[in-house]
Amino acid sequence: MELNPEHYFNRELSWLEFNVRVLGEARDATLPLLERLKFLAITSANLDEFFKVRVGGLNMLANRGVTKPDPSGLTPAAQLKQIGERTQQMVQEQMACFLSEVEPGLNEAGIRRRTSKDLSDKQLRFVKELFRSEIHAVLTPMRAILDEEFPLLVQESLSVCVRLTSTETDEEGQPIPKLALIPFNSYSLRFVTLPSDGGYEYILLEEIVSMFADEFFAGETIEECVPFRLTRNADVSLREDQAADLMTQMEDLLEARKEGECIRLEISDDVSTDLIEILTAKLELPKAGLYRVAGPLDMSAFWELVGLSGFEHLKIEDWPPQQSAAIGSTDNLFELIAEKDILLYHPYESFQPVIRFIEQAANDPDVLAIKQTLYRTSRNSPIVEALMNAAKKGKYVTAVVELKARFDEARNIEWAKNLEQAGVQVIYGVQGLKTHAKVCVVVRREPQGIRRYMHFGTGNYNEATARLYSDASLFTSDDELGADATSFMYAITGYSQPHLYSKLEAAPTTIRTRLIELIDGETERKKQGQKAEIIAKVNTLVDPEIIEALYRASRAGVKIRLNIRGACALRPGVKDLSENIQVISIIDRFLEHARVLYFHQGGDDLVYISSADWMPRNLDRRLELMVPVEDNDHRNRLLTNLKNYFRDNVKSHELKSNGKYKRLRRGNKTELRSQDVLYRQACEATSRASQTSRTVFQPHQAPGSDSNRM
């Protein structure tokens, strides 16, 4: 398929624009200060992963001399150049936001960062005592000898580089630089709380180390003391075809990441030119990899301040997840699901029923088996605990633990070992593919025979992120979906050949084909003069085949509305190409993560939830699911949610044909914020359910009375 580069945006540059939109929340003066600080931390964390994976991968391609362009026509080298320019600008804007807006506001509100220059006598004594009693004993300096290999430093951890006065000279009589490194590694004392007369005052660890660095180097003279931070390429590939023991190979991969090439050096902007030249040479840093920062390094660490107690007025209103109106706190979930499908929309509705579903399955004597996929779990996962409990009780438990879930490999390896020890049958995914589908199948013996109960989700089985990410959950006992889900699990866990399912669509076998079929179906109906419409909400849209199908539909006159949170390679609003396509992005307090799709289908209103984004990796190299939502109430609810996003005039940004996003303003319209609407609806539904339950009269029975006697 030949592509026109003018029809596509570059994926990486589009993702950077997403991070700029996140930064826009930090710059929003209408938000409370600690909420703005949170978005600064998110922006920094996002950039860290972007560099480790996307920039790391592009560096590898450029170093190999690869010149094949992406759909937008950019070679790896050209992408790196533009990424470097855009990211440098973004980092400057980020730091300007912190130093000129957020930090002054926090200072005024009583949260103050101190430096060596403005410590009180009492604080100076405290810091000196802390350094001598703890910090000096914990941290260990390392010599950095210039004609030897540079010391290996932990990925993304802060270090301080100390340049000492040198007494040695080279053959030309020039001083040989004398360097030492003080790595912080996993030492957790980044924010040191200071004694104060009010509010909260703190000093950063790197500031303390710089103040007393001479105590590490008795008899030496310090010329320069500068904090810095390295990012290494983490896009290390795994040769699964040569992996006799996948877990061992994954452990080896984690070790290999520690030694990946350095692709970014963040360093205090008061560093000398001489030290910059030494470090960039020793680290073999790419030209675009140097970032001189005018303020604190690693803004992601400032999450620690976001939750400070005593400053509630600097935080946003709490939105506790609501108990679903469809599920009582003591209800037997199997009885409810047998009666009717249940749809939850997190985090507006609590994730707790998903945990209860698996915990009830573990404790129910009639449950025979549990089969579940696990991609990213929490550190102390109650779901994993429930699976282990079920196995210990003699149930047949199968867990597909995806060891290749990037940056969660170590945690998943640990869980896999624990699950195996508890008697769970653990499958480490499928060779060559990542298992990204979210499904749990519970097999239960009932008077009428065996019945299967399923949970399908758009998000991970992780109760921590379920409070931060917007996702959909569907509980069902539909026979055909049960048969499909079981066949899907067999295809993963054994040698069963993937086949066509009755209702489910799965990647890499059928989702792509089905999506194009649905899009082209709307195109043909429009050509025939019928109503045609597509509304889709996914995190990323970069797949050329899907984009070309959407262009065909737009040219035919199909109304297409796309809610794409992150990278979007499709160019909307181009005459005779995409003028019928609108693309928006919602950036708000919750991360938009649910994948929800709607096709008018001649009035049949097809609605799906899915684990897959519209990317080649998801459609071709991952195990994914696309699940139809057939209950009319649930289908209408999801469709209403989709439409609400396009009415948002507070947190919505619209993608223009030039690649820039314009924040939508309400003008004379009534203010509508989609996430606020969804939360208020969840609260109202819970309130109505509570009122209804209170109108049911429960008579007190006399002891021993027969409640059925008239």
- Write phi, then psi, for 293 (nearest 5 degrees): -110, 130
Kind and range of the H or E element at 622? strand 622-628
Kind and range of the H or E element at 507? strand 505-507
Question: Within 13 Å of residue 358, how many CA atoms lie on the same side as its CB?
Answer: 30
Marked catalytic residue, from 7, 346, 436, 634: 436
Whole-angstrom distance, CA of residue 593 vs CA of residue 474: 15
Residue of 210, 166, 164 lying closest to 184 (CA atoms) = 210
Whole-angstrom distance, CA of residue 169 vs CA of residue 21: 51
Residue bearing tokens 């995914």: 429
User: Which amino acid, 101?
Assistant: E
Instruction: Give the start-end residues of each E strand in 386-502.
Output: 396-401, 425-427, 434-435, 439-446, 449-457, 469-476
CA distances from 580 to 524, 571, 572, 577, 583 (A): 15, 11, 8, 8, 10
Whole-angstrom distance, CA of residue 97 vs CA of residue 264: 22
Helix, coil or strand: residue 226: strand
DSSP-derived secondary structure letter, 601? G
DSSP string covering 655-693, please? Answer: E-TTS-EEE---TTSPP--HHHHHHHHHHHHHHHHHHHH
Whole-angstrom distance, CA of residue 42 vs CA of residue 49: 11
Helix, coil or strand: residue 57: helix
Angle at 618 between CA 613 and CA 624, to 5 degrees: 90
Residue of 341, 355, 216 lying closest to 633 (CA atoms) = 341
Taking a C-beta distance cutoff of 8 angstroms, is the pair 203, 235 a contact? no
Taking a C-beta distance cutoff of 8 angstroms, is the pair 582, 561 a contact? yes
Q: How, if at all, do strands 200-204 and 111-113 pair?
A: parallel
Q: What's the token pair of residue 192?
A: 């040191």
Residue of 253, 291, 262, 286 lying closest to 76 (CA atoms) = 286
Whole-angstrom distance, CA of residue 352 vs CA of residue 442: 17
- Three-class SS string for 97-137? HHHHHHHHHHHHHCEEECCCCCCCHHHHHHHHHHHHHHHHH
Q: Is 20 exposed, middle or buried (0-12, 13-18, 19+ CB in 10 A)?
A: buried
- Write phi, then psi, for 79 (nearest 5 degrees): -65, -45
Upstream peptide bond of 347 is cis (omega within 30 degrees of 0): yes
Q: Is 593 among the residues known to form the active site?
A: no
Active-site residue set: 436
